Structure 1
């Protein structure tokens, strides 16, 4: 099928005339209390006679507000969309005294939030099969969810999934640095702190960004975070990094147990993800299509049209084709 998608060329105008009105008129929001009493913010939209129901697991530092264009594209093509802000970021609750800390104690907390969202919130809005759409860190969370609840999703799409991160340090070195960082925090009597080299939120200029080739989408992203300072997030904490390494090791160890139909996109120009490890893990999945996107940067949902349009066309077709099945 040929799905109708927004154009980068007229995106600022499209936001004004279509996307922002869509958000006010068609998108609903809410909150639930996740593990350890952390508030989790979510949003959803359902077009009339939706043919496919998609749950989005977003990347690190992201908020559902950043997904307006993507949700608009899906909605206008007949997809219902459900998305949550992962704990510790976006509009969801924080767990340390510094709201810009990229913090989580264990990735299972993310996973439990996602599954509760599906079982308690989304299931009240539809009985149709659910499909999972993931980006980056959200891909790690989504993959862990497939391991924990293999019947929950009929299919899944993983874009630039975080199965390894750059720089890809030797395991002994990463663990040593984490150990020393945690010891320093313990001596200073802090619950959490940034890992070595990590800082509070920084808005890098487009010219040196490594996320997207689309200047218009990048500027809209930065403008959004300027306008809503509460969703700004800094670098990773040592606790987050330790939890991420444990999560990625678990995924690598158990990837062969996942039988859910998968479509995985690997951005060849990605400077965030360790693609070598990513693809090694991906080849262990029992029922996965792996597609490389030559030249693309990390954020395929916010890339320039030459990358974004064909990727979204393939994603929508894959989800539509699997819409009536359950894994």
Structure 2
């Protein structure tokens, strides 16, 4: 594990450090660790287009509440290896490939010297990746989700076409092309004005996100590819057939959500034994990057949930 670039001035968080990891299939990844909290460690699974520096302020909020944090650049975004010649195209061949990234992160944890127990916090696309990892037995004490991508807002009539055309093996080779209408040659926050954006109602947090990709264009990622959408639809359909893991879970969902499917989230949480769904009035997709009051509520409730999960754990060997 070697040192990797970390843009602390952009992260605006506690002292942190980044490292290169290599997944089992040879893809280079980047992780960042913010140490100092001794209550446990939050494994932060970002969403599509995101990178570790975006969660510097979140790491500060967790540190104030006693938790260390580690975040990852998934394959195809941040400073991890990009997967297609145009680095702004969001692409993955199969969503299960992200599980190689999860495995690399979990294997690196002993060397990162982070406190136990472990909890996962997953946002948007990270929520889809985390659900698969939990079903596969990822050893964490509890899980929290922010607007998890357990389905995406896509008209029903377009779904069969997206699954077929988006397949990597499709003879016309559309899988690595931008989705029509979303072919952003820059990241969303750079392309969309604050007014009417779908991420947050907080102007300061929107400016924070914009400043990061303006200062470091190598962090930027544009719209999803047709292949990414097809892979995502196949994965959420597959996951919907699995029962929820036997694990304490809390999920936050803004009332103004427009990016992921709120119905799929409500349906999953209704059949998650002991799971709790928290609806956040007025919030958009990025609940962790909303107004000060909303952020304080999110980090207070999430940290308290992690602590309660630790206190309720049965005594015995520490697996997480």
What interval of TM-score do these two structures reach, taking the shorter chain for normalisation?
A: 0.7 to 0.9
For 1:11, the equivalent position in structure 2 comes to none
How many equivalent pairs are there?
A: 302
Structure with higher helix content: 1
Cα shift readout 1:127-154 (whole Å, capped 9, x = no counterpart): 622100111111111111100115x111
For 2:4, the equivalent position in structure 1 comes to none
Q: Does 1:80 align with 2:76?
A: no
Q: Does 1:157 align with 2:141?
A: no
The structure, 1 or 2, with the larger RCO (C-alpha pairs under 8 Å, 6+ apart) is 1
Q: CA deviation at 1:115?
A: 2.8
Q: CA deviation at 1:111?
A: 2.1
CA contact (8 A) 2:166 2:228 kept: no
Q: CA deviation at 1:126?
A: 3.9
Q: Secondary structure at the match of 1:205?
A: coil
| TM-score, normalised relative to structure 2 | 0.87
Matches within 5 A, 1:207-218: 207-218=195-206
For 1:8, the equivalent position in structure 2 comes to none
For 1:99, the equivalent position in structure 2 comes to 87
| Distance of aligned partners of 1:45 and 1:293 in 2 relative to their CA distance in 1, 3 Å threshold | same
For 1:10, the equivalent position in structure 2 comes to none
CA contact (8 A) 1:96 1:191 kept: no
For 1:41, the equivalent position in structure 2 comes to 30
Give 4+ residue runs of structure 1 displaced > 6 Å after superposition: none
Q: Which 5+ residue runs of structure 1 have no aligned equivalent?
A: 1-14
Q: Secondary structure at the match of 1:266?
A: strand
CA contact (8 A) 1:52 1:323 kept: no
| Distance of aligned partners of 1:244 and 1:63 in 2 relative to their CA distance in 1, 3 Å threshold | same
Q: Secondary structure at the match of 2:252?
A: strand
> In structure 1, how many angstroms separate the alpha carbons of the residues matched to 2:150 and 2:125?
8
Q: Does 1:272 align with 2:248?
A: no
| TM-score, normalised relative to structure 1 | 0.85
Q: CA deviation at 1:51?
A: 1.0
Cα shift readout 1:74-129 (whole Å, capped 9, x = no counterpart): 123221111111110111111100101111111111122113211x1113324622
For 1:223, the equivalent position in structure 2 comes to 211
RMSD of aligned Cα (Å): 2.4
For 1:238, the equivalent position in structure 2 comes to 226
